[in-house]
Chains A and B, each alone.
Chain A
Amino acid sequence: IQLTQSPATLSASVGDRVTITCRASQNITNWLAWYQQKPGKAPKLLIYKASNLESGVPSTFGGSGSGTEFTLTINSLQPDDFATYYCQYYNTYSAYSFGQGTTLEIK
């Protein structure tokens, strides 16, 4: 199963609402997570099971979707939100895969 994120790069301003899309080549039901990674840092879990907000993550982050199309939405962008975002899936054969990443940069 392949995960395709779009766009690869996204330019936005503080206060904007942005959406990142992750498309799976096959139905993965809701086994999808989203991560944020900043330069020189480990990834941070934001969303699990497609739409569940991880503890401690601001409510400005939201996830939706099921099957083959998923979205990560960030409402009211803050300076700290500019980073690279990855989607990741799991299947019942214990295979894991990541999308190629979306870099969110300041316009």
Chain B
Amino acid sequence: DTGVSQDPRHKITKRGQNVTFRCDPISEHNRLYWYRQTLGQGPEFLTYFQNEAQLEKSRLLSDRFSAERPKGSFSTLEIQRTEQGDSAMYLCASSPGLSGSYNEQFFGPGTRLTVL
């Protein structure tokens, strides 16, 4: 296990198209997070899973965005009808999720989305 992986690393799409990104967390990490990072900004929280349950969603996550983690392992983030403003780096992170304590988040390399 070499850490959190994300696929693809880069995606260029035309406005209006749908895109899907995948995140594979570290094995046995039951918490999984998605963030978006635009140029000059820090990561912005999008959503969080505990196992397969999506427990929190940011108000930033419009209805064009949907995330799943069907078996509590890998996760997908889909953006429908992409807009130029969706261009960003999409980061995934995972953590062990031991109860009652904060756990370090391990970040993936990110997927850079460019919407033309």
- A, B assembled together: no
